[in-house]
A and B are shown apart, each in its own frame.
Chain A
Amino acid sequence: MLNKLQEVNKQAALNTSRALSKLIGRPVVVEISRPVLKKVEEVSPIINPEEIVAAIYLPVTGAIKGASLLIFPKETAFALSDLLVKREPGTTRKLTDLDKSALKEVGNILSGSYLSVLSNMLQVKIIEHMPQFSFDMFGAVTSQVISEFAQEAEEALIVKIEFTFKPIRLKGYFLLLFRQEEINAIIGSLKEQRAASNR
C-alpha cells in the first residue's frame, strides 16, 4: 500500500511543482517524503513548536477522510506574499486579508494536486473543503488538527511535502493525514475489481 502511495507521490510532486510555478511565475521544487504510519501525536516536529507560522488547514471527505495542513514559517509567509501579490521583496511585514487569501490558494493548489492524483489512481471521489487560516505557534496550530483527527483514529498515514521556491530559498511544509483503514479498503477493492476483470 505504501508503494502505491509512492507512485502517487511522484505524480503529485510533478503536478504541484507545475501548478505552483505557474502561480508564482518562477520555478518551484517539490520533494515529497515516503508516507509513514504514525500515532497522530507523533507527527514529526518539523519546526520549533513556539515558532510563529502561517497555517492553512483543509479538511478532506468523500471516499477518504482526512486532513491537509500547509505550514509556512512567518518569514516565508511574508516573502511568499510578496511573490504572490507582486510586491517588492521585503515589503510584507504583516499579513493582510489579501495575503491570507493568496496563501489559502496555495493550500488549495497543493491539496488539489495531491488529492486529484490519489483520486484518479484509486478511482474514488475525494472532496476538499474550504481552507481555513491561522497565524500562530506551530505547535498550537498542529495540535488542533491532529486532535480533531485523533477523535476517530489512533494512527494516521502521514505524507510530508517540502518545497523550495527558487531562486529564493523559501521552505514550506505540507502534511497530509489519512486513515490507513480507508485507503487499505479502497486499494483492496481496486485489486478485487482488477482480478474480476482479468478472469
Chain B
Amino acid sequence: MADIEVKIGEIVVAEGRDTILASGIGSCVVITIYDPRLKMGAMAHAMLPSRDGVGNPIKEGGRHGENGIKDARYVDTAINEMLKKMENRGAKREDLEAKIVGGANMFSSFESDIGRDNVLSAKEKLKKEGLNKAGECVGGSQGRSVEFSVGSGIVTVKTKF
C-alpha cells in the first residue's frame, strides 16, 4: 500500500491498495480512470487541452519506472496513454469509469480560460473514447487537491479556504 504523487505532466497507473495523489490543482485537470473489476486505476495531471498534432512521442520513464510516465502535459495525449497502459494490463474499455477534477480559473482577469478549455478537452476525449464519465468536480476559482483510492475507486477532493 503506497501513496503515489502525480505532478504536472505525469501519469501514474496503480493497483490494489495504493492511493494516487495530486496536490494544488488550479487550471490543470486531473483525470482518473478506474477499473472496478481489476481494482486498477490511473491518474493524469494535465496542464494543456490538446497537443497540436506536431511534436515528440510520449516519453517513457519517470519516478516510478514503468509506472510513472512524463510528458503527459496535454489532456488528449494523457488520456490516450492512460488507456493504452490500462488495456495492456488487461482492462476492458467497457468496464472503465472516468472522473475529472480541476479546471479552475485562479486569476479572473486572464484573457484565456485555460481551465475551462482543459475540462472541455477532457470531456470530449472521454466521450470520443467511449468511456463512462462517473463524476466531475470542475470549474470555479478555488484550488483543489485529489486523492484517488485505487482499491475502492473513490476520488476525494479537498479545497482550502
Contacts and interface: CB of A to CB of B under 8 A. Distances in A.
Contacts of A181: none
A197 interface: no
A133 B108 CA distance: 9
A137 B145 contact: yes
A194 B11 CA distance: 49
B115 interface: yes
A134 B145 CA distance: 17
A141 B105 CA distance: 9
B145 A147 contact: no
A132 interface: yes
B108 A140 contact: no
B28 interface: yes
Nearest to A145: B107
A52 interface: yes
Identify whether the interface residues of B are mostly helix, strand, loop, or mixed: loop
Contact of A150 (B24, B48, B141): B48
B109 A132 contact: yes
A150 B23 contact: no
A130 B24 contact: no
B25 interface: yes
B47 interface: yes
B26 A148 contact: no
- Which of A50, A140, A142 gathers the greatest number of chain B CB atoms within 10 Å? A140
- Which of B8, B105, B108, B115 gathers the greatest number of chain A CB atoms within 10 Å? B8
A139 interface: yes
Interface string A51-95: 010010100000000000000000000000000000000000000
Contact of A132 (B107, B142, B160): B107
B107 A143 contact: no
Contacts of A49: 23-24, 145
Interface of A: 39, 41, 48-50, 52, 55, 57, 130, 132-134, 136-148, 150-151
